[in-house]
Amino acid sequence: MVKKTLIPIGPYHPLQEEPELFKLYCEGEIVKDIKWETGYNHRGIELLSEKKTYDQSFFLVERVCGICSTSHPFAFANAVEEIVNVEITNRAKYIRSIIGELERIHSHLLWVGLAGHFLGYNTVFMWAWKYREPILDLFEIISGNRNSYAMFKVGGVRRDIENNKIPIIKGILDKFKKKNDLLVGAVMDDPVIHARTKGVGILTKQDIIDYAAVGPTARASGIAMDVRKDDPYAAYPLVNWKVITAEKGDVFAKAEVRLLEMYESISIIEQCLEGLKKEKEGEISVKVKEIPAGWGTGRAEAPRGEVFHYVLSDGSNSPARHKIRAPSYTNIATFKKSCIGQTISDATISLAAVDPCYCCTERMAVAYDSKTKEKILNGNELIALSVKKTNELRNK
Amino acid sequence: MNTDEILKIIKEKFSSDVLDVFKKTETRANITIKPESLVKINEYVFKDIELRFIIATANHTKKGFEILYHYSKDDIGLIVNLHVILPVEKPEIESLTCLFSAANWIEREIHELYGIVFLNHPELEKLISEGNWAEGVYPYRREFK
């Protein structure tokens, strides 16, 4: 009789933005079923936001996610400004888009690094995280913070990007672009990475529609969905760029979409910096006296996909209801489609492909025999399984 | 299909089920519907008009429990909210899991935060507070004076 094994992945790791526990039910090496538990980090932010003023809520929603910390204030600002019906200045639009795109670059680099590490390519991990550093430095130059930038408010942004900083930012981006070419080449041209990621964890168009998946996960399955194009906001309608899609829906397609998106992001930032030069310095916000009663729905394209905020205002200085939907909420659920039937070593990279933080696997995953309750594999041994498969392919 | 056409076709096709249609802007609209016609209208907008399900928002107001099903028409940037109001005494509504899997988690979440029962849901278990929250206590319910 085949021994059934339960492999838990999760729930905690300090780097993880979404603590969660995946239980993989395996027969031999094949994943047969998956159960999911979450709520470990449920902080009641939606309810908390109703106790804060609109200004304070920006700092609160910035802390929904540590990695893409601007996407939530972005969507929240779009929602509140829809209620107020205010048009922000072009300079503020450019600054918002620059922050949003820098964030996409650093988030995608983080993902590429972790995916590399997971497949046993620690060089990719080190390169990606090394080249991510100058991007974080850029954030410090622009906002004073490497993370949680506190740039957004109703009617504009809190800090200007002075024109004398533009050449510095461009210089850093130019250097980064060359390094990024190296990284993208290393990932896209490696036959072993192809062997490990092509045809693995496939999501079809129908799966994407069924699970309402968004962002690179959807775009890698051939659905050209991007809030920046579909429901334009900030400076995105003012600049030229294209939506990157791939057709296959496997892990490689998701990597391809993210890697190529970084070039689009760089292009958007460069155009926004040019745009800044044409606008008057200091015109970064419009005065908003009060938020009238009404509702607003704001969206923003975060690195992981569409962030959705619904804000109900009763005319007071705090939201009467504030609903937040992060992209991973719908993306993670696709795990059930992409992983069942895969081997354990492929299941983990398939999970990683939708970009939840999966670093937990390294520290927390322990495989128990479901009958004897004895440990079979720990986290490092699980990664070793994945690395071993890569090495075998390499040797072939 | 543009915003006006979508609103018009829903209004015509479900004239006895739609209580109110409100077009806020070119890209934002709200349609209040009867709770008992939820599944057939959602099926129509999801399968025939091909709107993308975004998420559902529940709220507890003086009117009762309100649920907004947010849909997106990506090619024109439209967000349509399908709005139902449930009585506080009997907060029950059909589950949409028969139409798409994306409804699964959000219905479980609404169930545990507001105590709204989704009929015919395949696994109406707790999603975010398994094992660490009292039974029958719903944290997002409000008290009105």
**Residue ranges covered by each domain of chain B:** 3-89
User: Of the candidates B52, B127, B139, which has its C-beta nearest A212's C-beta?
Assistant: B52
Asked whether the beta carbons of residue B101 and residue A232 sit closer than 8 angstroms, the reply is no
User: Of the candidates B68, B102, B130, which has its C-beta nearest A37's C-beta?
Assistant: B130
Residues A87 and A218 placed together within one structural domain of the fold: yes
Residues A287 and A166 placed together within one structural domain of the fold: yes
Residues A305 and A351 placed together within one structural domain of the fold: no
Determine the structural domain holding residue A157 and report its residue range. 45-329
> What pLDDT was estimated at residue A378?
60
> What pLDDT was estimated at residue A18?
60
Enumerate the residues of chain B whose CB falls inside 8 A of the CB of residue A306.
Answer: 54
Residues A54 and A34 placed together within one structural domain of the fold: no
User: Of the candidates A42, A44, A329, which has its C-beta nearest B105's C-beta?
Assistant: A329
Asked whether the beta carbons of residue B105 and residue A232 sit closer than 8 angstroms, the reply is no
Of the pLDDT bands very low, low, confident and very high (cuts 50, 70, 90), residue A365 is: very low
Q: What is the pLDDT of residues A308-318, one digit of tens each?
A: 999 999 999 99
Q: What is the pLDDT of residues B109-121, one digit of tens each?
A: 999 999 999 999 9
Q: What is the pLDDT of residues A25-82, one digit of tens each?
A: 888 888 888 887 777 777 888 999 999 999 999 999 998 888 888 999 999 999 999 9
Nearest chain B Cα to A37, which residue?
Answer: B127
Q: The domain spanning residue A339 has which CATH number?
A: 3.30.390
> What pLDDT was estimated at residue A29?
83
User: Of the candidates A210, A295, A321, which has its C-beta nearest B102's C-beta?
Assistant: A210
Is A358 an interface residue toward B (CB < 8 Å)?
no
Residues A136 and A281 placed together within one structural domain of the fold: yes
Quickly list DSSP for A109-173: HHHHHHHHHHHT-HHHHHHHHHHHHHHHHHHHHHHS-SS----EETTEESS---GGGHHHHHHHH
Enumerate the residues of chain B whose CB falls inside 8 A of the CB of residue A297.
Answer: 28, 70, 79, 81
User: Of the candidates B24, B70, B129, which has its C-beta nearest A310's C-beta?
Assistant: B70
The domain boundary residue, chosen from A329, A350, A376? A329
The CA angle A344-A347-A350, to the nearest 5 degrees, is 160
Using the 8-state DSSP alphabet, how is residue A332 labeled?
Answer: G
Residues A347 and A268 placed together within one structural domain of the fold: no
**Given a cut of 90, is residue A295 above it in pLDDT?**
yes
Strand, helix or coil at A229? helix
Tell me, what's the ipTM? 0.96
Residues A177 and A215 placed together within one structural domain of the fold: yes
Enumerate the residues of chain A whose CB falls inside 8 A of the CB of residue B75.
Answer: 230
Residues A183 and A246 placed together within one structural domain of the fold: yes
Is the backbone peptide bond immediately before A73 cis, with ω within 30 degrees of 0?
Answer: no
User: Of the candidates A211, A296, A299, which has its C-beta nearest B101's C-beta?
Assistant: A211
The CATH T-level fold of domain B3-89 is Beta Polymerase; domain 2 (3.30.460)
Nearest chain A Cα to B79, which residue?
Answer: A297
Alpha carbon of A154: minimum distance to chain B alpha carbons (Å): 20
> What pLDDT was estimated at residue A8?
77
Q: The domain spanning residue A271 has which CATH number?
A: 1.10.645.10
Enumerate the residues of chain A whose CB falls inside 8 A of the CB of residue B102.
Answer: 210-212, 330, 333
> What pLDDT was estimated at residue A32?
87
Alpha carbon of B9: minimum distance to chain A alpha carbons (Å): 22
Interface with chain B: mutation pick from A37, A40, A41, A42, highest number of B CBs within 10 Å: A42
Alpha carbon of B71: minimum distance to chain A alpha carbons (Å): 10
> What pLDDT was estimated at residue A364?
37
Q: What is the pLDDT of residues A82-139, one digit of tens each?
A: 999 999 999 999 999 999 999 999 999 998 988 888 788 888 889 999 999 999 999 9
**Given a cut of 90, is residue B8 above it in pLDDT?**
yes
Alpha carbon of B112: minimum distance to chain A alpha carbons (Å): 12
Nearest chain A Cα to B27, which residue?
Answer: A231
Contacts of A174 (CB under 8 A, 6+ apart): none
Contact A360, A93 (CB under 8 A): no
Residues A164 and A265 placed together within one structural domain of the fold: yes
Quickly list DSSP for A177-218: HHHHHHHHHHHHT-HHHHHHHTTSS---HHHHHHHT--HHHH
Residues A111 and A258 placed together within one structural domain of the fold: yes
> What pLDDT was estimated at residue A377?
61
**Number of domains composing chain A:** 2
Contact A127, A183 (CB under 8 A): yes
Interface with chain A: mutation pick from B54, B63, B108, highest number of A CBs within 10 Å: B54
Q: Beta strand B78-86 with B28-33: parallel, antiparallel or unpaired? A: parallel
Residues A11 and A36 placed together within one structural domain of the fold: yes
Residues A277 and A337 placed together within one structural domain of the fold: no
Distances (CA, A) of A199 to A121, A253, B34: 19, 9, 45
